[in-house]
Structure 1
Amino acid sequence: MLTKLANMSTRQKVFSIILIIVILLKIFYGVTFKTGQKIIAAQSKIEKVEGKQITQKTNEKVNWHDPSENKPYPNISDYPNFWIHVSIEKHRVYLMNNKEILYTMLCSPGAAGQETPRGTFSIQAERGEHFYNSQSGEGANYWVSFKDHGIYLFHTVPVDANGNYVVSEAEQLGKASNSHGCIRLSIADAKWFYENVPTGAKVVID
């Protein structure tokens, strides 16, 4: 190649060099383009897989009997600035100390038309182990009032007139807003809440 270039005129040399550069550029960008396509395709596959994983997590069966987290509940007496944050959008109850999240519970707030009230409230004195509302056809266990003295409550997933848990409703815990305005919790979470959360504790719902 170098010998041929040496025997060429200046114009021919320039033309040949330009031609070589063009060929090299085509080769380079062709490889880059193909590589880029492969990368994009790989990213697309990853996104699809991630999407599938997210869907699977959303569709996972909820253990509505047990604690929401695999760790001990906090000892409230150790946290002087304890309060409760309910996120309606995320279907979560956060046990807080100042800005620190101590524990996260799955929950189901009120359905459309029966929304859980938003705002700042306090845990009230009313609480009990069981109730049943014949008008709504549902009851619950381990209830604690936070508004209107026995109207808006934290409690377990619902039970029927015979005291049996309504499985179809319970399985939506942490995924759907399907209560009559109260905050539904797992059985274990509600029992702990009933036994440990003191009257007067601040509740913020947003």
Structure 2
Amino acid sequence: MKIISIRYVIPIMFFAIISFLFFYADVRTVSPETVDAGVEVAINFLLPIKHTGSPPRVTVIPEYPSTPVSFSVRQAGPATIVIRMKQEGYPQGQLLKFSVEDVSTVIPLLKKTARGQVRPKVGIKLISQGQIAVIPSRGPVQLQFNTPVEYKTFRKYTVLPVPGKILPLNCSVEGVEFTDYSRWEFFPDKPFVHGEQYKITLGAGIRSLGGSQTDRPVEVSFTAAEPPKVIRTEPAGGEKKVVLYRPVECELDREVESALIRITDPSEDIMVPGRTIVEGKRVVFRPVRAFLPGKTYKVFLAADSKDHEPLGEYSFSFSTVEMGNKYWVDVRLGDIHTVKVYRGDILVRHMVASGGREATPTPIGSFYTQDRGHSFWSPRFGEGATYWVRLVGQVLVHSVPKDDRWKTKEDEHARLGLPASHGCIRLDEKDARWFYENIPMGTLVIIHE
């Protein structure tokens, strides 16, 4: 048997003692149930603590990311420090992981580190009971406690009104995914009956992860939401000779949370571009271009009420006015100002334009072309233009402005597509001439945003 030399034993023992002194720390929870005041943890070291100008470095990590936790550190004895941690908001009773580093001791250069975790014991309360009144027919029923609860006892002592699944909520905060056992969702296997009342019983014996337990049952009652209904549409379903530009509106019998209107031309399977706006009980679709003449359009409405109950399938159709072989003009003052000339339902010419600035907007609506002229000069603005066609009052379609030498203003030409005029519709010189020479008096011009 090989005997270790005494010259090796002493360094080994010395290293073991130093390691024990460095790593040992007795961590004990002082007040696990004083949640309002905070939970206190006492850390006892073997070596006395030395006061220095640098406080120990403390880190506290809550169980759920982004939960605010305040803490303070105090010395409670020659070799003892106490950390008080207080968590704000819900859920209470989260597992708090903490570490204390760089604790100076009486031995020079020897600094202590301690780590641990604590879960405050919190009495269980259902805090969502007052928020549960009307529930979507497909769920979920959301139950929120003030503290995380055990999966096993929650499932065991919860009585559901109908078959279904009840699960804790899976969350993601700042890219960290976790399961929140303070929030639960119940989804019925089959939809609740509209307007019927239901009850969930949370029995005595449900335990929190901190060890507290419910001592009496709690009943949660709710009513299954009624589906929203459409009471009016504009245009009406089946309406004919609808004007070529107008918003499509649907009014429901209750407040709308979210909605989407889609409009298609079934004959060509073309979707009409536009945006849906929710205004209380009204859902409005604003197309970004005029409807084509002599077409039948189908409107599809999807909507959820404020109770998150879906409308179900809803659709209606309308037909636009006939234009024969006549010219008509669609002016859009959107992100890019454009003028589109149609003959019947055929696009003849697409032109970039400039409508009025915010201070001098172009009027919105339907107008008819009037008189015209080859050119004009405006002393008021110190500029002129060519190939003008009057729409209404002093609002004209004309070329990009020219200066006093009758040269096109290049800076104004560069703004085609953007709001730039005093209210008129500006076009490139070639486009203005084409418009002047081809669009007859009395042609319909629709101006919209």
Scaled by the length of structure 2, the TM-score of the pair is 0.27
Residue 107 of structure 1: SS of its match in structure 2?
Answer: strand
- 1:198 is aligned, of 440, 443, 449, to 440
Q: Which residue number corresponds to residue 405 of structure 2?
A: 162
Shift of 1:102: 2.4
Q: Which residue number corresponds to residue 48 of structure 1?
A: none
- 2:365 is aligned, of 119, 126, 130, to 119
Structure 1 position 130 matched with structure 2 position 372? no
* Equivalent residues of 2:327, 2:439 under 8 A apart: no
Q: Which residue number corresponds to residue 348 of structure 2?
A: 102
Shift of 1:162: 2.1
Residue 172 of structure 1: SS of its match in structure 2?
Answer: coil
Q: Map Cα deviations across residues 172-198 of structure 1 (whole Å, 9 max, x no partner).
A: 112x10001000001101011111110
- 1:178 is aligned, of 417, 420, 425, to 420
Q: Distance in 2 between matches of 1:85 and 1:110?
A: 16
Q: Distance in 1 between matches of 2:349 and 2:436?
A: 16
Scaled by the length of structure 1, the TM-score of the pair is 0.58
Q: Unaligned regions of 5+ residues in structure 2, if any?
A: 1-323
Q: Map Cα deviations across residues 83-115 of structure 1 (whole Å, 9 max, x no partner).
A: 001001131001123444222101000011100
Q: Distance in 1 between matches of 2:442 and 2:354?
A: 23
Q: Which amino acid aligns with 1:101?
A: L
Residue 434 of structure 2: SS of its match in structure 1?
Answer: helix
Q: Which residue number corresponds to residue 338 of structure 2?
A: 92
Shift of 1:147: 0.7
What RMSD, in angstroms, separates the aligned Cα atoms of the two structures? 1.3
Residue 436 of structure 2: SS of its match in structure 1?
Answer: helix
Q: Which amino acid aligns with 1:177?
A: P
Runs of 4+ in 1 over 6 A off after TM superposition: none
Q: Distance in 1 between matches of 2:447 and 2:345?
A: 15
- 2:429 is aligned, of 181, 184, 187, to 187
Q: Distance in 1 between matches of 2:423 and 2:387?
A: 16
Q: Distance in 1 between matches of 2:340 and 2:378?
A: 27
Matches within 5 A, 1:10-89: 80-89=325-334
Q: Unaligned regions of 5+ residues in structure 1, if any?
A: 1-78
Q: Which amino acid aligns with 2:388?
A: W
Q: Which residue number corresponds to residue 52 of structure 1?
A: none
* Percent of residue pairs bearing the same amino acid type: 39
Q: Distance in 2 between matches of 1:161 and 1:109?
A: 22
Total equivalences in the alignment: 124
Q: Distance in 2 between matches of 1:200 and 1:94?
A: 17
Shift of 1:136: 1.2
